[in-house]
Amino acid sequence: MWIRNGKNSFQVHSGCCTEDRFKEEKERKQGEQLRDNCCNSGSEKSQGMLALSISPNRRYLAISETVQEKPAITIYELSSIPCRKRKVLNNFDFQVQKFISMAFSPDSKYLLAQTSPPESNLVYWLWEKQKVMAIVRIDTQNNPVYQVSFSPQDNTQVCVTGNGMFKLLRFAEGTLKQTNFQRGEPQNYLAHTWVADDKIVVGTDTGKLFLFESGDQRWETSIMVKEPTDGSKSLDVIQESESLIEFPPVSSPLPSYEQMVAASSHSQMSMPQVFAIAAYSKGFACSAGPGRVLLFEKMEEKDFYRESREIRIPVDPQSNDPSQSDKQDVLCLCFSPSEETLVASTSKNQLYSITMSLTEISKGEPAHFEYLMYPLHSAPITGLATCIRKPFIATCSLDRSIRLWNYETNTLELFKEYQEEAYSISLHPSGHFIVVGFADKLRLMNLLIDDIRSFKEYSVRGCGECSFSNGGHLFAAVNGNVIHVYTTTSLENISSLKGHTGKILREISAFDVTYTAIVISHSGRMMFVGTSVGTIRAMKYPLPLQKEFNEYQAHAGPITKMLLTFDDQFLLTAAEDGCLFTWKVFDKDGRGIKREREVGFAEEVLVTKTDMEEKAQVMLELKTRVEELKMENEYQLRLKDMNYSEKIKELTDKFIQEMESLKTKNQVLRTEKEKQDVYHHEHIEDLLDKQSRELQEMECCNNQKLLLEYEKYQELQLKSQRMQEEYEKQLRDNDETKSQALEELTEFYEAKLQEKTTLLEEAQEDVRQQLREFEETKKQIEEDEDREIQDIKTKYEKKLRDEKESNLRLKGETGIMRKKFSSLQKEIEERTNDIETLKGEQMKLQGVIKSLEKDIQGLKREIQERDETIQDKEKRIYDLKKKNQELGKFKFVLDYKIKELKKQIEPRENEIRVMKEQIQEMEAELENFHKQNTQLELNITELWQKLRATDQEMRRERQKERDLEALVKRFKTDLHNCVAYIQEPRLLKEKVRGLFEKYVQRADMVEIAGLNTDLQQEYARQREHLERNLATLKKKVVKEGELHRTDYVRIMQENVSLIKEINELRRELKFTRSQVYDLEAALKLTKKVRPQEVSETEPSRDMLSTAPTARLNEQEETGRIIEMQRLEIQRLRDQIQEQEQVTGFHTLAGVRLPSLSNSEVDLEVKTN
């Protein structure tokens, strides 16, 4: 027969993991007491696992083992399913007893391993090639080393901590060199973690935490012992989690609890010892004494850390001493990759977890851990039992606890601790009773739904074995060499058996081991034996004479108990390492053992009458409470509906008034706009007339200029022809000199080429000699490589033989798996059809969920507002309840009177019935109105929020405008001061540059400060609803404003450009007139003036005299126009400010009127 470790292997010891959880169990383990054997059994003939380490990329797992009293490191590849061995490091060129700590490098290529004293060597491996890169001795005084680790970003940076040592080493040039020097008194450094590239937090056995940066101490703090308050001691029971949570990865194991306690025995017992530290994004977590973990967060301004949260191990009410159940030292801490979960292992071999969000919720009070899966055994298991009618396994242990497991669901059903140690246990075939042999008594107990209660005790001390009969009507207990037999009906001792008279039929050798447990199948065809080294042997029955059995590595200690289930499907084993394993039994063909009859397990449980009565009473009380709450909620909803209806009326009236005011304002703006359009059209026509006149004058002047320029062009053309003839002569002379120089150069370089060819021939001969030498060296290297290849070939042929043997074994297993696969494939096809139908339903449900989530978000906002009103209204409800009591008394009197009056009002009962029907219809209408009111309330809250946001934005914009006005005033004063230096260009340039540096950057800063995208987005969202209601008005106003402003800006820009052109033309006129006067003086025409010319020049002088007056009139007109434009701009700005105060109207932020400063300055210069 073959047995395989199934999925239902209970992790009763913190150092054991199952096959399915082999990849998930990546928590750091430590110490000699750690016996970590998984379902893959580690290596063959493994005597225990000492340390674990997982790579940062979570692909490889390194395990330190002792195989046949020799150390070995096995590296598994976790990405393959199931995980397979990648490398085994077992051939060492240095002395080593065991590896106590390991760590992978950040890129997972290198492995760091620390050996135990007295060697204390630190080994730096390139593990894929099994190459030792460096080795160094860490300590020469046999002090224990607890932890080694890599820097999270640097492969060459290494940290080592231990008793009296904190060392930083760097790998360089094939060696590990220490880079720090210890200062001050040596401490017993128990744990460390990297919080940054060059920062390490280290904890000691005296409760101190140190922060080192590049080997120098930067920060120090001491952890104080805090006793838990009474409130924390009286916490409710934390229920066990039945879900299997994945263990988070960590980089390096920690030392054993016993090793650290022995090393720190000289320290004070009152000081908390920091056994574990784990880093996360906000800071780090560390153990701080028994049952206590502290979270430290980094301070924003400094590089120091402060204590932010406290987490405690909860009190266990099932313990025999609940006050001491939380006094467990936390030995290891791990964060999940997403930092959502913190996992802790303790000195009592328990695993706890907590979600980090719970630590943030608890304000001021310490948070509490929960069991990761369920509470585990912390001592050797002494008893093991199973039953027929239920899938239960009962265990008892030297930790004074009894636990009931379910091997179908892989959960813990019940557990309880007692004052005495339990040595044996047996389950009744029905699964409702157990017999337990304690140190002082034998107890018969009931298994209730949530408790284990004893109902009969027998004075049998130190009962090593006990068992129910197959029918369950009898049970036997061992006391020394006497077996007592009791009946379960009358609970009396019916007989006692003493001594054994049987003979030994056959004796078989155990082959170098000691058999510690044995079990025979119910079919009588197979037998399983447990050994002292933790292995299981499967044999045929009757026993063969030769060595014919299959051996499986299981436990890390002697097996104490073995059992087969009633149907021979599962083998149960328990050992001194505190582990309980369940194995699946198969035949040679890989098929499971067939059951004789398929009978389902019973689901009945025992419950006491008092418990049922208490639960029924609680249910009645809860029902009454629910009814009362319904009545209260209905009454409160009615009151709210009344209040909200009043508010809705008020709001509607307000909005109607605002709409009317906006309409009136809009009409006023339209009339003003029409007036402005008329004015601007007239002004544009005047400007166009002026422009046409000036253009005609410019054309006359330009024609005269063109004639002068044409005469100059003809003169220059003659000069260019002469110059071209001179340059052609020079080019002919240069060509002749160039041909002579080329001939001389060709002769010189031909001589040099002959010399170089001779040198090349000599170099080629040297190259040939070097090639011959290279071929000879190449032949020698190839011969050496052939020898090495043959040696490697022999090694790998041996490995191939071993792998072929393993392949033959695997082929047998694949045949078994194929048969299973065919049966499973049929089930998969059926399941796929079900999955497709479920997927369709799931898609529908996801759509519903998304819509509901949106509704929930809106309702949450409404709930927050309603909670505030509820508090005020509860006071009113209290007063109204008092009035209701008084009215109830008054109602009783009135009811009596009403009964008498009803006799008199019999003819009107028909009318009352008709009125009741009308009332019912009205109530239905009221419900519809209530629904409409709730929807309106939501709309109103949204509108109020948007109104508040708009008011805040208006205030900000006004403040910004005030700041800008102040800045403009300052700029005007400074500019006025600069005008004083207008005659001194250098000083004026410096002053203008100073103004630029002073005001331009500030203006940019004001604009940058004003632009806050987040606020604008939030404002846009809140403004949507109001904009929809006022969409018609806004669109009209915005469109008209845009058209008006674009036209206005365009006209202003054209005016400015025209004014610039006019100024340039005037300058050209001045320049031409000065040239004319110069030419007249040169020709001396002014002295020889003819009478005819005088008569012709007089009107020109008159024109010159009249020109200044006309020019003055034009300047006055332009000045008047500019003043009118300024007044118009000021009036428009005032209107814009008034419109901005109205909600829902906003100016165009992107349009800016051009400044008239340039045109004004030009006009002032002209007038001067």
Is 613 in a helix, a strand, or coil? Answer: helix
Question: Could you say which DSSP state residue 998 is in?
Answer: I
Block residue for tokens 């017992």: 269
Q: What is the pLDDT of residue 566?
A: 83
DSSP string, 431-488: SSEEEEEESS-EEEEEEBSS-EEEEEEE---S---EEE-SSSSEEEEEETTEEEEEET
Element spanning 333, H or E: strand 330-335
pLDDT digits (tens, 9 = 90+) for 896-918: 777 777 677 776 777 777 888 88
Please report, for residues 70, 120, 232, 360, the alpha-carbon distance to residue 310 in angstroms, rounded to integers and kept in the order given: 43, 36, 12, 10
Is 482 in a helix, a strand, or coil? Answer: strand
Range in 4-8, 89-93, 363-367, 577-581 the model is least confident about: 4-8
For 991, phi then psi, to 5°, come to: -65, -40
Structure tokens at 51: 């340390």
Are the CB atoms for 292 and 272 separated by under 8 Å? Answer: yes
Q: Is residue 1096 over pLDDT 60?
A: no
Helix and strand element counts for the chain (H, E): 11, 45
Q: What is the pLDDT of residue 361?
A: 66
Block residue for tokens 């500030």: 1002
DSSP string, 20-44: TTTTT------STT-----TT-SST
Are the CB atoms for 337 and 329 separated by under 8 Å? Answer: no
Mean pLDDT of 1088-1106: 41
Mean pLDDT of 1100-1117: 48
Q: Is residue 605 over pLDDT 60?
A: yes
pLDDT category of residue 243 using cuts at 50, 70 and 90? very low
- Bridge partner list, 583: 5, 571
> Could you give the CA distance from residue 29 to residue 297 in angstroms, rounded to a whole number?
26
> Could you give the CA distance from residue 47 to residue 32 in angstroms, rounded to a whole number?
11
Q: Is residue 829 over pLDDT 70?
A: yes
Structure tokens at 50: 């000492």
Q: Is residue 237 over pLDDT 70?
A: no
Please report, for residues 280, 345, 440, 635, 658, the alpha-carbon distance to residue 313 in angstroms, rounded to integers and kept in the order given: 21, 11, 32, 45, 63
Structure tokens at 507: 């004796």
pLDDT category of residue 12 using cuts at 50, 70 and 90? very low
First to last CA, the chain: 120
> Could you give the CA distance from residue 1040 to residue 631 in angstroms, rounded to a whole number?
58
Packing angle of the helix pair 1031-1083, 609-904 (nearest 10 deg): 100
Are the CB atoms for 103 and 251 separated by under 8 Å? Answer: yes
Are the CB atoms for 171 and 156 separated by under 8 Å? Answer: yes
Are the CB atoms for 888 and 880 separated by under 8 Å? Answer: no
Please report, for residues 413, 595, 597, 736, the alpha-carbon distance to residue 600 in angstroms, rounded to integers and kept in the order given: 19, 12, 10, 120
Instruction: Classify the C-alpha dihedral 957-959-965-968 as positive or negative.
Output: negative
Element spanning 437, H or E: strand 433-438
String of b and e for 261-296 (b: at least 16 CB within 10 Å)? eebbeeeeeebbbbbbbbbbeebbbbbbbbbbbbbb
Please report, for residues 72, 289, 368, the alpha-carbon distance to residue 221 in angstroms, rounded to integers and kept in the order given: 40, 15, 24
> Could you give the CA distance from residue 767 to residue 762 in angstroms, rounded to a whole number?
9
**What's the 3-state SS for 289-312?**
CCCEEEEEEECCCCCCEEEEEEEE
Q: Is residue 832 over pLDDT 90?
A: no
Which of 88, 94, 103 is closest to 43 using CA atoms?
Answer: 88
Of 636-640, 689-693, 697-701, 837-841, where does the model show the most confidence? 636-640
Mean pLDDT of 849-854: 84
pLDDT digits (tens, 9 = 90+) for 1032-1083: 776 777 777 788 778 778 888 888 888 888 888 888 888 888 888 887 787 7
User: pTM for the complete prediction?
Assistant: 0.50
pLDDT category of residue 161 using cuts at 50, 70 and 90? very high
Q: Is residue 227 over pLDDT 70?
A: no
> Could you give the CA distance from residue 477 to residue 459 in angstroms, rounded to a whole number?
11
Could you check whether the bond before residue 1091 is cis, i.e. omega within 30 degrees of 0?
Answer: no
1027 CB-near residues (< 8 Å, 6+ apart) = 1034, 1144
Question: Could you say which DSSP state residue 906 is in?
Answer: G
Are the CB atoms for 457 and 416 separated by under 8 Å? Answer: no
Residues in the chain: 1168
| Interstrand relation of 580-586 and 570-575 (parallel, antiparallel or unpaired) | antiparallel
pLDDT category of residue 252 using cuts at 50, 70 and 90? very low
> Could you give the CA distance from residue 554 to residue 50 in angstroms, rounded to a whole number?
16
**What's the 3-state SS for 947-969?**
HHHHHHHHHHHHHHHHHHHHHHH
Mean pLDDT of 425-452: 89
In this structure, the number of other CB atoms found within 10 A of the CB of residue 970 comes to: 13
> Could you give the CA distance from residue 470 to residue 30 in angstroms, rounded to a whole number?
44
Range in 196-205, 227-236, 689-698 the model is least confident about: 227-236
Q: Which amino acid is at 563?
A: L
Q: Is residue 967 over pLDDT 60?
A: yes
> Could you give the CA distance from residue 1097 to residue 156 in angstroms, rounded to a whole number?
101
Structure tokens at 177: 């060199």
Within 34-167, residue ranges assigned H as helices are none
Block residue for tokens 């009978």: 599
455 CB-near residues (< 8 Å, 6+ apart) = 444, 445, 446
Q: Is residue 1149 over pLDDT 80?
A: no
Block residue for tokens 């096995």: 74
Which of 1144, 963, 919 is closest to 1037 using CA atoms?
Answer: 1144
pLDDT category of residue 467 using cuts at 50, 70 and 90? very high
Structure tokens at 784: 């050496």
Please report, for residues 95, 456, 697, 732, the alpha-carbon distance to residue 98 in angstroms, rounded to integers and kept in the order given: 10, 51, 109, 98
Q: What is the pLDDT of residue 598?
A: 63
